[in-house]
Amino acid sequence: MRVLIVDDNDKYANNLKLFFDTKGIQSVRARDAREGWTVFQSDPNFDVVISDVTMETQTSGLWMMRKIYKSKFPGVMIIASTGFDVAGVMFFSKFILPFFCGLHWMIPKVPLKKGEVQLFPTTLANNLTKPF
């Protein structure tokens, strides 16, 4: 299994990388959406893409995820965002983001900041088991 992590924040990205390292899962990191898209285009053989939303712009990660989704990426799409820590955002996102960018899972960043990777399903993940 290979995971692409796209996040401009070292703390969050390092916590995700450590999580995958302890499970023996290879991960590659990009530091922003532009680099994430470049890495994905040069090697689209990832099983999972995880991205922050706010990087170069307030929504650059979301638009990168949409481009990956529109490229017919067959893998699992995950967004890790501080937005999911706001009451109600995750509830609405689980219905909207699957259609916008093929999102399967959501990771809130308050637990991630402590090193805890908590996955919450969207409507696309209802019939899937957790990817790791």
Residue 45 tokens, joined: 């053989």
Question: Residue 107's pLDDT is what?
Answer: 97
* Residue with tokens 């955002």, as numbered in its chain: 89
CATH number of 2-125: 3.40.50.2300
Q: What is the mean pLDDT of the chain?
A: 95
More confident residue, 100 or 132: 100
Question: Residue 23's pLDDT is what?
Answer: 95
Tens digits of residue pLDDT in 8-20:
999 999 999 999 9
What's the one-letter identity of residue 64? M
Give mean pLDDT, residues 57-82. Answer: 96
**Could you tell me which residues come within 8 angstroms of residue 29 by beta carbon, excluding any fewer than 6 positions away?**
4, 5, 6, 7, 13, 17
Question: Residue 126's pLDDT is what?
Answer: 74
Question: Residue 127's pLDDT is what?
Answer: 72
